[in-house]
Amino acid sequence: MQSIDSLHDFFVRTGAEVRLYHLGRRVEPCALDALRDLEHDDRPWPAPWQGQARLAMVFRLGDLDDLLIWFLALPLDEQGTLDPAPRDAFLQRLLETLGRNVQGLGREESGEIDNLMKDNPLAFTPSTTFQAMLHARASHDLDRPASQHLEPVEAYLEGQQALDWRALGFQGLADFVSRMDAAQQHRLADTLAALPDEVLVSLCYCLEHVSIGDTLADALRRRGERAAEAGDIEHFCACVRAISGADGTRAGDWYDALLADETACGPDLLAAMAGRGWRHLEDGERLPRFLTRLADEPRADFTAVARDLALIPRLRLPVLMTLREAEPTSAIGRRLAGLSR
């Protein structure tokens, strides 16, 4: 029997129906090939988060109707490639649980596999937002119905029914965002300015995980700028995070304006850009400006954020070049000099 020496092999050999989702920076689909490349080809993980490849593995084994969900945080090394030892230990336990019967799995074996998560050092519990968005994305992708909370959220956000916003379920917001079409985005953009602050923040926590069109992006920027003028950092940063799903022009233009204003670049804003808007930092002028603002902000953890960005394959070389080319007297140079003492 051919040996199983990776999680990718496990899913292929068992014939499992599997869907993977990134759970690091955003909740978004992950190709099974990405896991194969990480495990077999020693390639850097495309979306690392705090030194880990965070994944949701949604799968069905054999003829069972029930879906199993694993939340695994695979540790990465300094190059963003897999540190295999923890994965190997988990895989060994998995195969010991199954024995040699990796294809004819029954209900008893599937329960034992699910129980492996209970004392697994690789397992983690995603935040409420990530769990809600995963449920929404997976349900949509698997052609399953949305939660019962979707209908009242649709009625509220589209102005069809006067509801108390406190009665809205967060899962309904996640379902709405995951399923909204272009027309719904336009209607949401029209009502965004009037949404209560509490609804806006919860909505933004969901929007930061999906792609959005120009009209909604413009509405988010207007609402964010209004919050900034009022000194409301929480709502301002929520809008900055939510606009990260817009195209490079819309999000990039706002990022450029914010980075040009030293009074705007507090630690929360910089964290929002790095955590959710990292794709928009892949720019020859914007990235150095961002790193300079980061270095200039004493409340920001410059080393941790720069290292985290450098683990992203497309940003690794630009980040390292920016740090290497920094003048000793610059903000970046002074930060680096402080690290070497």
Give the tokens for residue 77: 């090394």
CB 158 within 8 A of CB 180: no
The residues, ordered by sequence, that sit 6+ positions from 108 with a Cβ below 8 Å of its Cβ are none
Total Cβ atoms within 10 A of residue 166: 8
Q: Tell how far CA 40 is from the center of its chain.
A: 24
Instruction: Show pLDDT as tens, one digit a residue, over the chain (341 residues).
Output: 467 899 999 999 888 899 999 999 999 999 999 999 999 987 899 999 999 999 999 998 777 678 889 999 999 999 999 999 999 999 998 888 776 555 555 555 556 666 777 788 999 999 999 999 999 999 999 999 999 999 999 989 987 666 677 878 999 999 999 999 999 999 999 999 999 999 999 999 999 999 999 999 999 999 999 999 999 999 999 999 999 999 999 999 999 999 999 888 999 999 999 999 999 999 999 999 999 999 999 999 999 999 999 999 999 999 999 999 999 999 999 999 877 55
The residues, ordered by sequence, that sit 6+ positions from 37 with a Cβ below 8 Å of its Cβ are 43
How many whole angstroms separate alpha carbon 85 and alpha carbon 75?
Answer: 9
> Which helix (H) or strand (E) element contains residue 70?
strand 68-75
CB 202 within 8 A of CB 170: yes
Concatenated DSSP letters of 122-155: TB----HHHHHHHHHHHHHHTTPPPPTTHHHHHH
pTM: 0.92
